[in-house]
Amino acid sequence: MVNTPEKPELHWNRKEHDNLILRLAGMWRIGKAIPSSEQVKKEIEGSSDLRRISFDTERLLAWDSSLLTFLVQLEKECRDRAIETDREGLPEGVQRLLNLATAVPAKKDARRTSAKESLLRRVGRQVLDFGHGSMEMLAFIGEAFLALLKLMSGRARFRRSDLFLFMQQSGAQALPIVSLISVLVGLILAFIGAVQLALFGAQIYVASLVGISMIRVMGAVMAGVIMAGRTGAAFAAQLGTMTVNEEIDALTTLGISPMEFLVLPRMLALFFMMPLLCIYADLMGVLGGLIVGVYMLDLNFWEYVNQTRATVALSNFWIGLTHAAVFGILIALSGCLRGMQCGRSASAVGLAATSAVVTGIVSIVVATAIITVICDILGV
């Protein structure tokens, strides 16, 4: 086809001085170069005596929503200028759809207006939200504590199989990623230390450096961060989805406490598994240091091991384990808290998972600081 007759076209001419005829031709389809209503608008603006617009669609081959949006905009423009539009010349289907689109006037107060708030108001609201959020968190921690007391008195109800499942998921299945991260952290620590210590010919102290830092805090912190991203997010997403599906409501109406049934096994699983993961991460970190020591610093294998054993006191190990157990509870709590607070939509579940990871990692860092200060005061 030479002329490409499908091309949507728009022409206009005046029949009388106050009547404009729009001639629509070709294929008015989404994706084609649809003429803009702006052109007509300019024409309308140019003539103040225009009273009426009519249409000629004899050569219009096909149309879809693109024609409708063009017409709706045009009509709106015309209404504002008190120009009458004559729908007679339009195809019948178009007329009917236009009638349908204009049948119910836009609800004035339905459209959400983002009302401008003053700074003071915004700050105030943020503070109130923060206070509210803190109260919720405290209430949650309190409830979790009560559930724990119930567990100790042997009256808490949850399924043992759930506990073992969570232990498997958060423990054994996390080993590969914990190995990778811990070995790398060990390597990095050894590497940084080696550069400095080699200046004094004190390469052997790389073993002490890696041993103490991994076993005392870094093993637990790295395992904690991994767990927050892996398990904390998973908990939040699980509980969030259960909230969306009304599964938590279903538990509540049966008189089963979601706190005991859902939160407790997750908390216990992480409480038990985190120290084990921490021991594993410690070993892997020391292994990473060993690799650098033996292959880069030419230290003897046994020399390195003996130096580690000689300098890492057992108290370091216990402190590491304490870190890990605390982190386990914090991660489980933040994951479950965000999951239970979840709104009732898919995006809310995403937000809950994100927020669980952020809360988890922040609380890990804060807890590390607190434990470090306590250890300093106690002199261990």
**Which of 241, 354 has the CB closer to other proteins?**
241
Residue 57 tokens read as 């669609």
CB of 121 to other proteins, least distance (A): 17
Task: Out of 10, 72, 212, 251, point to the residue binding other proteins (CB under 8 A).
Answer: 251
Tell me if 305 contacts other proteins by CB under 8 A: no
Contact 67, 36 (CB under 8 A): no
Residue selected from 2, 120, 254, 314 as contacting other proteins according to rule CB under 8 A: 254
Whichever of 309 and 344 has its CB closer to other proteins, that residue is: 344
Q: Report how far residue 361's alpha carbon sits from residue 201's, in angstroms, rounded to the nearest whole number.
A: 38
What the block records as the tokens of 213 is 């830092």
The Cα–Cα gap between 194 and 361 comes to 29
Q: Is 129 an interacting residue with respect to other proteins (CB under 8 A)? A: no
Using rule CB under 8 A, residue 379 touches other proteins: no
Does 253 bind other proteins (CB under 8 A)? Our answer is yes
Residue from the set 249, 306, 309, 313 that interacts with other proteins by CB under 8 A: 249
Under rule CB under 8 A, residue 121 binds other proteins: no
Q: Does 125 bind other proteins (CB under 8 A)?
A: no
Q: Find the helix packing angle between 65-80 and 37-46, rounded to 10°.
A: 20
10 Å CB burial of residue 241 (0-12, 13-18, 19+) is middle
DSSP-based three-state secondary structure for 353: helix
Q: Identify the CA nearest to 195 among candidates 185, 206, 186, 208.
A: 206
Binding to other proteins by residue 153, rule CB under 8 A?
no
Q: Any contact of residue 366 with other proteins (CB under 8 A)?
A: no
* 246 near other proteins, judged by CB under 8 A: yes
Looking at 66, 73, 241, 372, which residue binds other proteins (CB under 8 A)? 241
Binding region for other proteins (CB under 8 A) out of 51-59, 112-120, 241-249, 296-304: 241-249
Q: How far apart are CA 363 and CA 341, in angstroms?
A: 18
Distance CA 194, CA 209 (A): 10
User: Which residue type does 311 have?
Assistant: T
Shorter beta-carbon distance to other proteins: residue 76 or 344:
344
In this complex, which beta carbon is closest to other proteins, that of residue 154 or of residue 255?
255
CB of 255: closest distance to other proteins in angstroms? 4
Residue 314, interface with other proteins (CB under 8 A)? no
CA dist 321 and 216 (Å) reads 8
- Applying the rule CB under 8 A, the residues between 181 and 240 that interact with other proteins are 238
Of the candidates 273, 294, 327, which has an alpha carbon nearest to the alpha carbon of residue 210?
Answer: 294
Query: Nearer Cβ to other proteins, position 136 or 249?
Result: 249
Using alpha carbons only, give the angle 180, 182, 184 rounded to the nearest 5 degrees: 70
Beta-strand ranges (E) seen in the chain are 9-16, 19-28, 52-63, 84-86
- If one asks whether residue 136 binds other proteins (CB under 8 A), the answer comes out as no
Tokens describing residue 171: 């423990």
Q: How far is CA 63 from the centre of its chain?
A: 42
Exactly one of 13, 134, 168, 252 binds other proteins (CB under 8 A); that residue is: 252
Of these, 245, 306, 315, 345, which contacts other proteins (CB under 8 A)? Answer: 245
Q: Pick the closer one to other proteins by CB: 254 or 378.
A: 254
3-class SS of residue 200 = coil
> Is residue 247 near other proteins by the rule CB under 8 A?
yes
Which one among 80, 255, 302, 314 touches other proteins, defined by CB under 8 A? 255
Furthest-apart CA pair in the chain: how many Å?
105
DSSP letters for 128-158? HHHHHHHHHHHHHHHHHHHHHHHHHTT----
Rank residues 253 and 347 by Cβ distance to other proteins and give the closer one. Answer: 253
Q: Tell whether residue 104 is a contact of other proteins (CB under 8 A).
A: no
Determine, following the binding rule CB under 8 A, whether residue 157 of this chain makes contact with other proteins. Answer: yes
Residue 88 and residue 53 in contact, taking contact as beta carbons nearer than 8 Å: no
Comparing CB distances to other proteins, the nearer of 216 and 266 is 266
Using the rule CB under 8 A, is 242 a contact of other proteins? yes
CB closer to other proteins, 219 vs 258: 258
Counts of helices then strands in the chain (DSSP H, E): 15, 4
**Interface residue list for other proteins (CB under 8 A):** 157, 238, 241-242, 245-247, 249-256
